[in-house]
Amino acid sequence: MQLQLTSPLDMHLHLRQEGMLQNVAPLSSKSFNGALIMPNTLPPITTKEMLLAYKKEILEATKEDNFTPYMTLFFNSSYDYDFLKSLKNEIVAIKLYPAGITTNSEGGVAAFDIEQLRPTLEAMSKLDIPLCIHGESNGFVMDREAEFIPIYKQLATAFPKLKIIMEHITTAASAKAVLEHKNLYATITLHHLYITLDDLAGGMLQPHLFCKPIAKRPEDREALLNLALNAHPKVMFGSDSAPHPKSAKEAPGCAAGVFTAPIALQALTELFEKHNKLENLQAFVSDNAQKIYKIFPPKKEVVLVKKEYTVPSSYGDVVPFLANQTLHWSIQ
Amino acid sequence: MQLQLTSPLDMHLHLRQEGMLQNVAPLSSKSFNGALIMPNTLPPITTKEMLLAYKKEILEATKEDNFTPYMTLFFNSSYDYDFLKSLKNEIVAIKLYPAGITTNSEGGVAAFDIEQLRPTLEAMSKLDIPLCIHGESNGFVMDREAEFIPIYKQLATAFPKLKIIMEHITTAASAKAVLEHKNLYATITLHHLYITLDDLAGGMLQPHLFCKPIAKRPEDREALLNLALNAHPKVMFGSDSAPHPKSAKEAPGCAAGVFTAPIALQALTELFEKHNKLENLQAFVSDNAQKIYKIFPPKKEVVLVKKEYTVPSSYGDVVPFLANQTLHWSIQ
């Protein structure tokens, strides 16, 4: 038994820099045809020069595959129309982080004052540049995503022509909200389709399952599964694969991030098969994203075969999601 | 400025065995006059011989102080009246664990069938032996304690003369339930008065704050503070201090437990002072427990002085709660 996927895309990917990038980028390009590259590097990507240099670094690391890095800028309310226009052909989206909400987001937006953000968001709207948002408040960890929903709604209403992507949604509340505004869309990760807070902290504590937003309740996962397995046109796959060295995960002050890139397609296939929804996987991992972002990736066929595959215990010094577990699908 | 506490008691303490016991027991006996000793050793304490041997081990490890180990048995529905009567002078309570709910609880109660538990609970009731319960269901981690409340209520109603201690309560729901039945009481830990899930997983992940029951929401902590700071006669201090070696905490599959014994009195004093409730600390850390358990510890005065004290980074290979932080109260 096999499944052919055409041009799979990962619409939320952290490739990091230097040695880590050399380690992880080829693992994404083996599975995926392209990915939306997150800009929260150190320092974050905020200029054309940085963007082009980062893109070059990624292309070099993935040169054995036909891989397209869809680049993003780190949102900054000083970006004006002319600056964004000059970058229109280089970027696919701009990523907005509330300040301090996740890895390397210290330079993010501290207060959601629509008037202060308006010039940049209007320019993006005119230039048809989507806005990706890590939507969490600074409230109690289980409430942060739900507390951010009014801001999504306010932005969606104030900028009706701006495409807004609710990144890595984790709650039933977000799964509902994305359907309520025409210009809201969402990415869903692999791990939030697999785990709940129980997997992180219900038995022993599992630092390799610690991520932001934190995995939520079983009913939240159900709501995400409902959208993903049916490949609702408002949602697409974004792994949020976020590698950290083992030493940063297995210690007090463990960094947030689950590394899923090399096993994401295999695990998604297993999940969709389990729910008898294999026919929707193509849309979830590629077609929906192409329509939402208006991107046209070069054609690449990835064939998954029903053959047991044991996930390695690590890739370099990074421990992947489902390490040492056996999946029933492999990439041919 | 100083505060004198008379015969402070820790009514929920894990001392472990052998090397770990040698390390941690003297740290409890330096601060506390006595403690209720949890029986979830390997194997759990289920016979008179084991109980006496364990008590002897504890007395030897704490011989430099005048310390009373109040012993408990690991609940088992095979205990009958005669067996319990023969132990009446040796035990202060029996501790019930739902099977598999925490460290070394595999031999606990798998199903709460009142009829099956009835003979033992009636014998305890007649002999006036309190029942301590780790009250969690096997449901979603944030709901486990609340889901167990109906069982507490059922037991409290079915055995109205049995004193039932809701151990280490962590939720507003439990703080309410304990007031609703005359024969329900509760212990509250230090760490659940200090932290919420945010401290464990809201920033970076902090394995040394991982415990069972897991720390809950800010409003839950508020409800616990309200009972503890007012030294409500239904509640008493029980640290649930649960040491694990650093290697078991700072690794995937991190063990549940926060080690608070050596700094509990200092941190409680700081907390009660901050809330202008120092006058209630004596009741919370001793008087309430004496009344609930009808115990009469030998008199011992512990004097806390307002003098800065930096918590050590570790005690042997155990990292304490608030490691490296500076408290404003020290034990004289």
Crossing angle of the two packed helices A144-158 and A114-127, in degrees rounded to 10: 60
B214 interaction partners in chain A (CB closer than 8 Å): 201
Q: Which chain B residue lies closest to A144 (C-alpha atoms)?
A: B202
From the list A140, A201, A217, the residue facing B198 with the nearest CB is A140
- According to CATH, what is the number of the domain A2-331? 3.20.20.140
Residue B98 in contact with residue B105, Cβ under 8 Å?
Answer: yes
- For A228-247, give one letter per residue: b (16+ CB within 10 A) or e: bbebbebbbbbbbbbbbbee
Distance between CA atoms of residues B200 and B191, nearest Å:
11
Cα distance between residue A267 and residue A265, in whole Å: 6
- Shortest Cα distance, chain A CAs vs residue B319, angstroms: 11
B85-134 confidence digits (pLDDT tens): 999 999 999 999 998 878 888 888 877 888 999 999 999 999 999 999 99
Exposed e or buried b for every residue in B280-319, given b needs 16+ CB within 10 A?
bbbbbbbbbbbebbebebeebebebeeeebebeeebeebb
The 10s digit of each residue's pLDDT in B270-329 is: 999 999 999 999 999 999 999 999 999 999 999 999 999 999 999 999 999 999 999 999
Is A179 within 8 Å of chain B by CB? no
Choose the closest CB to A251 out of B217, B250, B256.
B250
Set of chain A residues whose Cβ sits within 8 Å of the Cβ of B218: 140
Instruction: Give the separation between CA B126 and CA B207, rounded to whole angstroms.
Output: 43
Write out chain A residues lying below 8 Å of B142, CB-based.
Answer: 142, 197, 217
Q: State the best of A142, A197, A205, A318 to mutate against chain B, taking most chain B CBs within 10 Å.
A: A205
Under an 8 A CB cutoff, do B205 and A254 touch? Answer: yes
* A100 Cβ under 8 Å from any chain B Cβ: no
Of A78, A154, A187, A157, residue with least CA distance to A123: A78
If you search the block for the tokens 């009741």, which residue do you land on? Answer: B283
The pTM (predicted TM-score) of the whole model is 0.96
Separation CA A238–CA A188 (nearest Å): 6
CA distance A101 to chain B (A): 8
Q: Tell which of B145, B205, B250, B324 to mutate to test the A interface (max A CBs under 10 Å).
A: B205
Task: Report d(CA A204, CA B256) in Å as an integer.
Answer: 7
What is A50-98 written as a DSSP string?
A: HHHHHHHHHHHHTTTS--EEEEEEEP-TT--HHHHHHHTTTEEEEEE-B
**Cα nearest neighbour of A103 on chain B:** B204
Can you give the pLDDT at residue B104? 82
DSSP string spanning A116-179?
HHHHHHHHHHHHT--EEE----SS-TTTHHHHHHHHHHHHHHH-TTS-EEETT--SHHHHHHTT
Alpha-carbon distance of A322 to A311, in angstroms, equals 7
Residue B193 structure tokens: 């008065």
Instruction: Enumerate the active-site residues of B.
Output: 240
Does B210 contact chain A (CB < 8 Å)? yes
Residue spans of the domains in chain B: they are 10-260
Task: Write out chain A residues lying below 8 Å of B244, CB-based.
Answer: none
The two three-digit tokens of residue A209, written as one number: 């399952």
Q: Using the beta-carbon criterion (under 8 Å), do A218 and B252 form an inter-chain contact?
A: no
Residue A292 CB: number of other CB atoms within 10 A?
19
- Chain B closest-CA separation from residue A226 CA (Å): 20
Q: Packing angle between helix A18-31 and helix A48-61, nearest 10 degrees?
A: 60
Residue A289 in contact with partner chain B when CB distance is under 8 A: no
- CA distances A58 to A46, A53, B106, Å, are 17, 9, 50
Quote the pLDDT of residue A113. Answer: 86
Interface predicted TM-score (ipTM) = 0.95
**What pLDDT was estimated at residue A11?**
98
The encoded tokens of residue B104 equal 């070394």
Q: Which residue has the tokens 């940085």?
A: A50
User: What is the spatial distance between Cα A37 and Cα A27, in angstroms, rounded to a whole number?
Assistant: 14
Q: Are the beta carbons of B201 and A141 separated by less than 8 Å?
A: yes
Beta bridge partners of A305: A2, A330
Pick B201's closest partner by Cβ from A196, A201, A319. Answer: A201
Question: What stretch of H or E contains B326?
Answer: strand B326-327
Q: What residue has token string 């099956």?
A: B116
Please list every residue in chain A whose beta carbon sits closer than 8 Å to the beta carbon of residue B197: 140-142
* Beta pairing class for A326-327 and B235-237: unpaired
Check residue B31 and report its DSSP letter: H
Residues paired with residue A237 on neighbouring β-strands, in sequence order: A188
A240 is catalytic: yes
| Dihedral over Cα of A51, A57, A62, A64: its sign | positive
* Residue B248 touches partner A, C-beta closer than 8 Å: no
Q: What is the pLDDT of residues B60-93, one digit of tens each?
A: 999 999 899 999 999 999 999 999 999 999 999 9
> Comparing C-alpha atoms, which of A322, A320, A206 is closest to residue B201?
A206
Neighbours of B213 (CB within 10 A): 25
Calculate ∠ Cα B277-B281-B284, nearest 5°: 120
Q: Answer whether A137's CB lies under 8 Å from A121's CB.
A: no
Q: What is the pLDDT of residue A327?
A: 98
Please tell me the predicted confidence (pLDDT) of residue A154.
Answer: 95
In tens, the pLDDT along B141-199 reads: 999 999 999 999 999 999 999 999 999 999 999 999 999 999 999 999 999 999 999 99
Q: Which residue of B has its CA nearest to A199?
A: B141
Residue A317 has a pLDDT of 97
A321 touches chain B (CB under 8 A): no
pLDDT in tens, B201-220: 999 999 999 999 999 999 99
Q: Are residues A161 and A208 in contact, defined by beta-carbon separation less than 8 angstroms?
A: no
User: Residue A209 in 3-state DSSP?
Assistant: helix
Give the torsion through C-alpha atoms of B282, B285, B287, B290, to 10 deg: -160
Shortest distance, CA B269 to any CA of chain A (angstroms) = 27
In total, chain B counts a number of residues equal to 332
Query: Among B187, B127, B98, B117, which Cα is nearest to B155's?
Result: B117
Bond prior to B262 in cis (omega within 30° of 0): no
Decide if B252 touches A, using CB distance below 8 A.
yes
Cα–Cα dist A244/A20, whole Å: 8
Residue A295, both tokens: 């991107």
**Residue A4 has what DSSP assignment?**
E
Catalytic residue among A82, A220, A240, A317: A240
Give the CATH superfamily of B10-260. Answer: Metal-dependent hydrolases (3.20.20.140)
Give A217's contacts in chain B (Cβ within 8 Å): 140, 142
Decide if pLDDT at B50 tops 90: yes
Q: Which residues pair with B3 in a beta bridge?
A: B304
Residue A107's pLDDT is what?
82
* pLDDT tens per residue across all 332 residues of chain A: 999 999 999 999 999 999 999 999 999 999 999 999 999 999 999 999 999 999 999 999 999 998 999 999 999 999 999 999 999 999 999 999 998 878 888 888 877 888 999 999 999 999 999 999 999 999 999 999 999 999 999 999 999 999 999 999 999 999 999 999 999 999 999 999 999 999 999 999 999 999 999 999 999 999 999 999 999 999 999 999 999 999 999 999 999 999 999 999 999 999 999 999 999 999 999 999 999 999 999 999 999 999 999 999 999 999 999 999 999 999 99
Q: Which residues in chain B touch residue A207, judged by CB atoms under 8 angstroms apart?
A: 205, 207, 252, 254
